[in-house]
């Protein structure tokens, strides 16, 4: 079946008439054909977003919120269907796929209610008979560019706050999960988002994405994806609001006093959940030398029991990688790890399930040195590097010895280590006695260093999609001068 772009309230073909395919990564079957749009389609969408802007931005935010409440109800009603679609198109196991949709539901209710808040603040003036406050105004037309690994949740983190703040939107989803995007937009249309307010343009990053980034009429970009794409956006967008949520190389520290059973659950979940394809995935385990051998044995024994297969099948723990290129990348990193002298304890092979799919066996390297490429680069697959730490300070030094800083975790029963780690680890998120993954939507989410510059979630999502405007209201009836020395 062929799916269309959604521009100016209508489902339309791309200007070129060209299409591309999306495939189920578990069995390589084609799911549908989608519009291979180009710069011209983006320009048409921008025109629609420009025309819709005045009416939408002037609509009382609480009324926009009513539309979002309806969207949240519809997402809830369609949760099973959308969850199955995520499992089919993106590949993760059904419980995680339903979690992806639940996150979108939670964000949508949260942002709908924000329509009755959107707080600014008031403060005192240094002069008499003068009132000072801040208000929130929309940014304008914003571009939301998203990856494939959370095909419902990540668009909702961007689109819901953008809508409630009164922006109009050009949405470009990943070409690996366009059907999830089409179904998501259909829900918002059904909920009553007016024509031109939300425009879906599918197609390559090099044409559609590039035009969104470069076009001067777009005032803000919210991007989630690879660090190199983020860098390119920063260098090419010109002066715009730019929010970047990028990759990482997240670590878990396991101290010698840790409860190893709980740590084991955390490593398995953080490293192999979503087949290691989360920006917050745990790809480095920094373990105290006293418990390293024991923990390695526990880990290998557990990994042996993990079952690979289609995310739709009950009992499956690890789904496929997203596509052939991802499979090749992960395979090549295992070869790099071996060449660098790391010891492969288990896994390391691409495999087929029922003769198909982009599966890779969950893999553990040990005796890793922090400078190795497998300890520095985001592999984005089920590959973990174990690094030995001499003591707490050594563990902190090693967890921080990467360019990235999105998520992190420490397992310890020692309260002093826990509190020190909260401050010393260079990351946007630190979990104590819990894995690196599993954010809650009302708390800020985002990284430091090369993991990005944005904070999504909760009130921070509102900050990303609104301008803070300062108002000085002078009711003295004369000219009063602030910041003038009259002493």
Q: Point out the residues that are catalytic.
A: 245, 279
Beta bridge partners of 253: 286, 410
Q: Phi and psi of 342, rounded to 5°? A: -75, 155
Site string for ligand NAD, 174-193 (x = CB under 6 A): xx------------------
Site residues for ligand NAD, 341-380, by CB under 6 A, read 378, 380
Which three-class secondary structure state does DSSP give residue 205? helix
Query: Which lies closer to ligand NAD via its Cβ, residue 3 or residue 380?
Result: 380
Q: How far apart are CA 286 and CA 29, in angstroms?
A: 39
- Return the residue of 229, 275, 366, 435 that touches ligand NAD, per CB under 6 A: 229
Interface residue with ligand NAD among 130, 219, 226, 420 (CB under 6 A) is: 226
State the minimum distance, in angstroms, from the CB of residue 215 to ligand NAD: 11
| Rounded Cα gap, residues 246 and 272, in angstroms | 19
Residue among 108 and 174 whose Cβ is closer to ligand NAD: 174
Alpha-carbon dihedral angle through residues 323, 329, 332, 336, given to the nearest 10 degrees:
-150
In 3-129, DSSP assigns E strands to 5-7, 10-12, 19-23, 30-35, 122-123
Between 224 and 412, whose beta carbon lies closer to ligand NAD?
224
Strand order from edge to edge, sheet including 5-7: 10-12, 5-7, 198-200, 168-172, 141-145, 218-224, 241-245
How many residues touch ligand NAD under the rule CB under 6 A: the total is 31
Query: For ligand NAD, which residue of 31, 139, 181, 213 counts as binding (CB under 6 A)?
Result: 213
Q: In what helix (H) or strand (E) does residue 432 lie, and over which residues does it extend?
A: strand 431-432
Residue 25 sits in the site that holds ligand NAD (CB under 6 A):
no
CA–CA gap between residue 330 and residue 318 (Å, rounded): 15
Q: How many helices (H) and strands (E) does the chain have?
A: 15, 23
Secondary structure (DSSP) of 134-178? EEEEE-SEEEEE--SSSTTHHHHHHHHHHHHTT-EEEEE--TTSH
Which DSSP category does 428 fall into? S
Does position 452 bind ligand NAD by CB under 6 A?
A: yes
Given candidates 65, 115, 196, 225, which one binds ligand NAD under the rule CB under 6 A? 225
Task: Tell me how far, at minimum, the Cβ of 379 lies from ligand NAD, in Å.
Answer: 10
Smallest distance from ligand NAD to CB 354, Å: 26
**Chain residues 108-167 in contact with ligand NAD, contact rule CB under 6 A:** 145-150
Select from 43, 210, 356, 449 the one that contacts ligand NAD (CB under 6 A).
210
What is the sign, positive or negative, of the torsion defined by CA atoms of 407, 412, 418, 424?
negative
Query: Per rule CB under 6 A, is residue 214 in the interface with ligand NAD?
Result: no
- Tell the smallest beta-carbon distance from residue 255 to ligand NAD (Å): 27
CB 146 to ligand NAD: min, Å: 6
Nearest CA-CA partner of 291 in 325, 260, 316, 245: 260
DSSP code of residue 400 = T
Residue 258, helix vs strand vs coil? coil
Contact residue for ligand NAD among 138, 247, 319, 362 (CB under 6 A): 247
Site string for ligand NAD, 377-416 (x = CB under 6 A): -x-x-------------------------x----------
Task: Report the nearest approach of ligand NAD to the CB of residue 329 (Å).
Answer: 10
- At 131, which helix (H) or strand (E)? strand 130-138
Residues that bind ligand NAD (CB under 6 A): 145-150, 172-175, 205-206, 209-210, 213, 224-226, 229, 232-233, 245-248, 279, 378, 380, 406, 447, 452
């Amino acid at each position: 079946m062929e799916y269309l772009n959604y521009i100016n309230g209508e489902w339309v073909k791309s200007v070129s008439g060209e299409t591309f395919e999306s495939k189920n990564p578990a069995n390589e079957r084609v799911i549908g054909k989608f519009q291979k749009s180009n710069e011209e389609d983006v320009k048409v969408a921008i025109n629609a977003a420009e025309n819709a802007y005045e009416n939408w931005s002037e609509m009382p935010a609480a009324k926009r919120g009513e539309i979002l409440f309806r969207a949240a109800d519809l997402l809830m009603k369609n949760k099973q269907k959308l969850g199955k679609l995520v499992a089919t198109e993106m590949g993760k196991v059904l419980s995680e796929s339903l979690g992806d949709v639940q996150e979108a539901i939670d964000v949508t209710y949260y942002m709908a209610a924000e329509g009755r808040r959107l707080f600014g603040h008031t403060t005192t003036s240094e002069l008499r008979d003068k009132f000072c406050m801040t208000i929130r105004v929309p940014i304008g037309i914003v571009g939301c560019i998203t990856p494939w690994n959370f095909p419902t949740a990540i668009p909702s983190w961007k689109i819901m706050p953008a809508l409630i703040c009164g922006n109009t939107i050009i949405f470009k989803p990943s070409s690996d999960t366009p059907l999830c995007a089409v179904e998501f937009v259909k829900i918002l249309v059904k909920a009553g988002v007016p024509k031109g307010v939300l425009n879906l343009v599918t197609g390559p990053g090099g044409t559609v994405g590039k035009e969104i980034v470069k076009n001067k009429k777009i005032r803000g970009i919210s991007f989630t994806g690879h660090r190199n794409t983020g860098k390119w956006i920063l260098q090419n967008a010109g002066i715009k609001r730019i929010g970047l949520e990028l990759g990482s190389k997240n670590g878990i520290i396991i101290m010698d006093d840790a409860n190893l059973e709980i740590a084991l659950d955390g490593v398995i979940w953080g490293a192999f959940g979503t087949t290691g394809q989360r920006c917050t995935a745990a790809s480095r385990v920094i373990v105290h030398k006293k418990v390293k051998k024991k923990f390695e044995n526990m880990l290998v024994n557990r990994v042996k029991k993990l079952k690979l297969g289609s995310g739709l099948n009950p009992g499956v723990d690890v789904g496929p990688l997203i596509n052939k290129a991802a499979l090749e990348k992960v395979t090549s990193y295992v070869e790099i790890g071996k060449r660098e002298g790391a010891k492969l304890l288990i896994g390391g092979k691409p495999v087929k399930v029922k003769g198909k799919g982009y599966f890779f066996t969950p893999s553990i390297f040990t005796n890793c040195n922090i400078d190795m490429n497998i300890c520095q680069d985001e592999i984005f697959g089920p590959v973990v590097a174990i690094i030995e730490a001499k003591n707490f300070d050594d563990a902190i030094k090693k967890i921080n010895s990467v360019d990235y800083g999105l998520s992190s975790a420490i397992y310890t029963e020692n309260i002093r280590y826990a509190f020190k780690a909260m401050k010393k680890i260079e990351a946007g998120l630190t979990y104590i006695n819990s894995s690196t993954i599993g954010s809650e939507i009302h708390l800020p989410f985002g990284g430091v260093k090369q993991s990005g510059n944005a904070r999504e979630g909760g009130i921070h999502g509102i900050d990303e999609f609104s301008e803070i405007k300062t108002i000085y209201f002078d009711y003295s009836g004369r000219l009063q001068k602030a910041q003038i020395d009259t002493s």
